[in-house]
Amino acid sequence: MKSTTIIATLFLPVVGLVQQAFAQNSSSRVHVQAGQSIQKAIDAAEPGSHIVVEAGTYTEQLTITNDGTLLIGLGAILVPPSNMTNNTCSGLAGPDTEAGICITGADIELADFVVEHRKVMSVGTPVKDVLVTGFEVHNFTGQNIAVVGGDGVLITGNTLHNGDSYGALTVGSNNTIIDGNTVESADVLRFIGICMDDKGDTWVSDNQISGYYIGLCCQTANARVFGNNVTNSCVGAFVDPGVKGVHLFNNSVAQPNPNCTAEAGTAGIVVGGGINSTIEFNEVEGMKTVNKTGAGIAIIDFPSGDTVAIPTDNRVIHNFAHDNDYDLALVSNGTGNVFQDNDCDTPAELCSPS
């Protein structure tokens, strides 16, 4: 049931960007050896430089502000230093939180922190065409990788361990691609694996996510989220209130975290007040709780501030959902929500052929 032709077509630009990164003139390359400073190399490099970081453990946090920076790890491991340096990502996920790699534009205006992360109010000058690949990033308190005010940023082929608030977060950006990363929390259930809260044209694809309460949070209109595999989480993917036009397809959600409480619930994919989403060709299995309220794919009314966000005009089609307490669920007063041509069992009224 995988729509491989669609995925192959969408994936071609990612392949092209990575090939371009390795094909550029070697004279623009800067090599960093174990024991040297990655940040010093970033600061000294010209825009458009390759910064190739050799294998080793680097006790640093990194800030990238130059257009065209291509940061390429060859077995490089990044861990938090004892003293942090203030940058745009400081406090992004709340007080005293820091990102491991902060990719940021200039003159960023951020709202005060309320919940989850600070919202981007305006971007003076975006940072463009940045690539980060081949890194292991461990144990940062905010995000292991954050993109703030970017344009054309590609995060691919990294392993992000135990990012306390987020594995990866992109906010206030355009054309962000987060592809082919492993995002995992090994010891405790942490907050969100990957979250997108961008201006537009975001895609998140082919990532392996495990050990986060929410695997994928979708807060960007028209985001494309596909080919991801989420396990050991409470909620595989969540489309936020009022977010329009998310296309979530060919993802797999299974094996929920056993510590997800009955009160909190377990679900594969939830449209919580989202609008005009398309949820198709996903596989969701094993979403069960002790009080039998686990859901494979659900459309629900969702509290948002002082109101309740009502989902409308969402389509759940051509999905495979089995061995859940409820394979499909509609708990909403919204109109125009459609469940059609899904391979599922419960409840019969939503799983019946249309």
User: For the chain, how far is it from start to end, CA to CA, in angstroms?
Assistant: 18
Cis preceding-peptide flag for 347 (omega within 30 of 0)? yes
Predicted confidence pLDDT, tens digits, the chain (354 residues) = 444 444 444 444 554 555 454 444 444 789 999 999 999 999 999 888 999 999 999 999 999 999 999 999 999 999 999 999 999 999 999 999 999 999 999 999 999 989 899 899 999 999 999 999 999 999 999 999 999 999 999 999 999 999 999 999 999 999 999 999 999 999 899 999 999 999 999 999 999 999 999 999 999 999 999 999 999 999 999 999 999 999 999 999 999 998 886 666 799 999 999 999 999 999 999 999 988 899 999 999 998 778 999 999 999 999 999 999 999 999 999 999 999 999 999 999 999 765
Amino acid at 241: P
Instruction: For Cα atoms 325, 192, 171, give the angle at the middle one, nearest 5 degrees.
Output: 130
Q: Which tokens sit at 220?
A: 């960007």
Q: Which tokens sit at 255?
A: 């094996």
Residues 6+ apart with CB under 8 A from 100: 61, 62, 78, 80, 137, 138, 140, 143, 144, 145, 163
Comparing CA positions, the residue from 268, 271, 293 lying closest to residue 282 is: 268
Residue 173 belongs to what H/E stretch? none
- DSSP-assigned beta bridge partners for residue 302: 309
Three-state secondary structure call for residue 116: coil
- What ranges in the chain are assigned the alpha helix state H? 4-23, 38-44, 348-351
Comparing CA positions, the residue from 248, 284, 247 lying closest to residue 267 is: 284
Are 139 and 78 a contacting pair, CB within 8 Å?
A: no
Euclidean distance between CA atoms 161 and 229, whole angstroms: 16
- DSSP-assigned beta bridge partners for residue 276: none
Domain residue limits, the chain: 51-207, 234-353
pTM above 0.85, yes or no: yes
Euclidean distance between CA atoms 271 and 241, whole angstroms: 8
Chain centre to alpha carbon of residue 212: 11
Euclidean distance between CA atoms 336 and 319, whole angstroms: 18
Comparing CA positions, the residue from 98, 95, 92, 97 lying closest to residue 78 is: 98
* One-character DSSP codes across 40-63: HHHHHSPTT-EEEE-SEEEE--EE
